[in-house]
Amino acid sequence: MILWLVYFSFSVIIKLVKCQYLWRFTFSFNSGTDKATPKFKILQLQVKRALHNAPQPGPFTYVVQCMYIIPLLGKTYAEGFSHMLISSLRHFKSVKSGQKDFLDAKRLAARLILDIVASIVPHEERILVKLLEAFDIELRDMAHALYGSDSDEDLVKAREHLKQYVQCLMESESYVTAVNLITRFSIQCCDESFLTKLIENNHFEAAEKWAVFMGKEMICLIIQTYLDTKMLKRANELVKQHDLTEEFPDVNYLYKESVLKKLAEKGCWDIAEVRAKKETKLMEYLVYLAMEAGYMEKVEELCQQYSLEGYVNSLVPEEICCGPDYLDLKKLVLEDIIWVDEIDGLLNAISYIEACKIIGVDCEWKPNFQKGSKPNKVSIIQIASYKRAFIFDLIKLYEDDPKVLDSCFRRIMCSSNILKLGYNLQCDLHQLSQSYGELKCFQSYEMLLDIQKLFKGATGGLSGLSKKILGAGLNKTRRNSNWEQRPLTQNQKEYAALDAVVLVHIFHHVKGQPQFGVTEGCKVEWKSHIVSRVKNSRSPSRF
Distance in angstroms (rounded) separating the CA atoms of residues 72 and 70: 5
Query: Given a cut of 60, is residue 539 above it in pLDDT?
Result: no
For 331-542, CATH number? 3.30.420.10
Asked whether the beta carbons of 137 and 167 are under 8 A apart, the reply is no
| Interval 416-441 mean pLDDT | 91
Distance in angstroms (rounded) separating the CA atoms of residues 474 and 467: 8
Query: Given a cut of 80, is residue 198 above it in pLDDT?
Result: yes
Asked whether the beta carbons of 501 and 494 are under 8 A apart, the reply is no
C-alpha 53, offset from chain centre: 41
What local confidence, expressed as pLDDT, does residue 75 receive?
A: 82
Q: Taking the complete model, does pTM exceed 0.85, yes or no?
A: no
* Residue 161: C-alpha distances to residues 118, 184, 497 (Å): 11, 14, 69
**Ranges of each domain in the chain:** 2-137, 190-249, 266-319, 331-542
Q: Is the peptide bond before 57 cis (omega within 30 degrees of 0)?
A: yes
Tell me which range, 7-11, 118-122, 225-229, is most confidently predicted by mean pLDDT. 225-229
Query: Are β-strands 445-450 and 378-384 bridged in parallel, bridged antiparallel, or unpaired?
Result: unpaired
By CB neighbour count within 10 A (0-12 exposed, 13-18 middle, 19+ buried), where does 64 fall?
buried
What local confidence, expressed as pLDDT, does residue 345 receive?
A: 97
More confident residue, 310 or 364: 364
**Segment 226-269, tens digit of pLDDT:** 999 999 999 999 999 999 999 999 999 999 999 999 998 888 88
What local confidence, expressed as pLDDT, does residue 239 receive?
A: 97
Asked whether the beta carbons of 88 and 99 are under 8 A apart, the reply is no
In the β-sheet with 388-393, what is the strand arrangement from edge to edge?
336-340, 388-393, 378-384, 358-365, 419-422, 445-450, 530-533, 541-542
